[in-house]
Amino acid sequence: MNLKPSALSVAMAASISLTACGPAQILGADDAVVKLSPLENNPSAGYLTLRGGAEDQKLVEVTSKQADRIELHETVKEGGLTKMQTLQEVNVPAGENVEFKPGGKHLMIWGVNKGAIEKGQMNLLVKYSNGEIFKVPAKIETMGSEQSMHSEIGTDKTAGHAMPSETMDTAPAE
Ligand SMILES: [Cu+2]
């Protein structure tokens, strides 16, 4: 099947923004969580929701003082193969929410510092193309405590969330 859910959700969002006459949504980001990799040298995954403002923006960078490096990634399925792509930026249309979630867009985070892990909390700095930077608190949870790593990242064999350039050869999901 070649359903295009993205086109559908864009259409739905457009009709909502036409009928809603309230104040324009304010640019920001929230709902952040970091799923800590159980293996120290493997990257952790991060999820959050970007909130579009009055004008179209792009997410250009996410950084943190409590981590060595953060990349923007997207898990994509192509003919039964699952792979991760590095994203240079993410479009955040005016008034729309862009969700980072398992199996889709996510943050890949290297070197979360020990102090943050002990506190169970870190701050993400979310930078948009207009230059605005938002500090977003993220709860740090251990990957695989209540759910297996596979179900966290998606339905595929992305255990350990291998390095970004790697293509993962997996059986079709579902
Ligand atoms: Cu990734």
The residue ranking higher by pLDDT, 78 or 68, is 68
pLDDT single digits (tens) 104-131: 999 999 999 999 999 999 999 999 999 9
State pTM to two decimals. 0.71
> Residue 41 falls within a domain, yes or no?
yes
> Residue 164 falls within a domain, yes or no?
no
Distance 157 CA to ligand 1 centre (A): 12
**CATH code where residue 45 lies:** 2.60.40.1890
pLDDT single digits (tens) 149-173: 444 444 344 444 544 444 444 444 4
> Residue 150 falls within a domain, yes or no?
yes
Distance 90 CA to ligand 1 centre (A): 14
Owning domain of residue 37: 25-154
| Pairing of β 133-142 and β 28-36 | parallel
CB neighbour list of residue 55: distance below 8 Å, 6 or more residues apart: 94, 130
pLDDT at residue 2, as a whole number = 53
Distance 73 CA to ligand 1 centre (A): 5
> In total, how many domains does the chain have?
1
Please report where in the chains the tokens 């070649």 appear, as a residue.
2
Distance 2 CA to ligand 1 centre (A): 25
Distance 16 CA to ligand 1 centre (A): 31
> Residue 72 falls within a domain, yes or no?
yes
C-alpha 38/C-alpha 24 separation (Å) is 41
Q: Which helix (H) or strand (E) holds 70?
A: strand 69-78
Which residue in 162, 99, 103, 107 sits closest to 140, CA to CA?
107
Distance 107 CA to ligand 1 centre (A): 6
> Residue 3 falls within a domain, yes or no?
no
> Residue 174 falls within a domain, yes or no?
no
pLDDT single digits (tens) 21-75: 556 689 999 999 999 999 888 999 999 999 999 999 999 999 999 999 999 999 9
C-alpha 53/C-alpha 43 separation (Å) is 30
> Residue 10 falls within a domain, yes or no?
no
The token duo for 11 is 């259409």
Distance 45 CA to ligand 1 centre (A): 7
pLDDT at residue 5, as a whole number = 52
> Residue 5 falls within a domain, yes or no?
no
Average the pLDDT over 131-152 and give the result: 75
